[in-house]
Amino acid sequence: AQMPNTISRADKLYGLSKFWQEVNYNFVYLDEVDREEWEAEYKKLLIFVQETADDYEYYRHLIRLCAMLKDGHTNVYYPEAVQAKLYNTYFGDYRLFMTNINGKAVVTRVNLSKKEEIPIGTEVVAVNGQPTAEYLEEYVKPYISSS
């Protein structure tokens, strides 16, 4: 099943610009954000969001921009339609939850149907052939809003 593609190019630009504007007006800790990087990312996204293939990709850009604020109380969430597709389709039969234990990605929960295949306590050493630490730096950490 495909991700929804319901947001027009104009609405993508409006949503991005509205978020950027609200942060600039209301975000208490904006003085702690690298303003040059913040502005450069916004300008880059003005082009990128218009070319996104679907709603998931669009929101992924917003989530990454939001994570630049480094504030665990400021987040962008996927709409329900995207969230449902993400959890019910993109991961197939596998639902893994991992925890950082002594600098290692360790499986701490897995769906019951896969518990024999991927036991609790399994260390994830690579994702699609890429070392876990590198994968996290490139594909996970830039999307996490945290203080």
**What pLDDT does 90 receive?**
62
Residue carrying structure tokens 């070319």? 51
Backbone conformation region of residue 105, classed left if phi is above 0, alpha if psi is from -120 to 50, else beta = beta
pTM for the model: 0.83
pLDDT of residue 91: 63
What is the phi/psi pair of residue 124, to 5°?
A: -90, 110
| Amino acid 2: pLDDT | 86
Q: Report the range out of 39-43, 82-86, 113-117 with the highest average pLDDT.
A: 39-43
Last residue of one domain, picked from the residues 89, 107, 130: 89
Segment 116-121 mean pLDDT: 94
State yes or no: pLDDT of 111 exceeds 90: no
Angle at 135 between CA 93 and CA 44, to 5 degrees: 105
Which domain covers residue 24, as residue numbers?
A: 9-89
Please tell me whether residues 72 and 16 are part of one structural domain: yes
Q: What is the pLDDT of residue 113?
A: 87
- What is the per-residue pLDDT for 94? 81
Among 89, 112, 130, the domain-final residue is 89
pLDDT value of residue 108: 95
End of a domain among 89, 107, 128?
Answer: 89
Residue closest to 4 by CA, chosen among 50, 59, 63: 59
Across 105-130, average pLDDT? 93
Q: Does one domain contain both 18 and 65?
A: yes
Please report which helix (H) or strand (E) contains residue 9, including its range.
Answer: helix 9-26
Convert the pLDDT of each residue in 30-80 to its tens digit: 999 999 999 999 999 999 999 999 999 999 999 999 999 999 999 999 999
Residue 106, pLDDT > 70, answer: yes
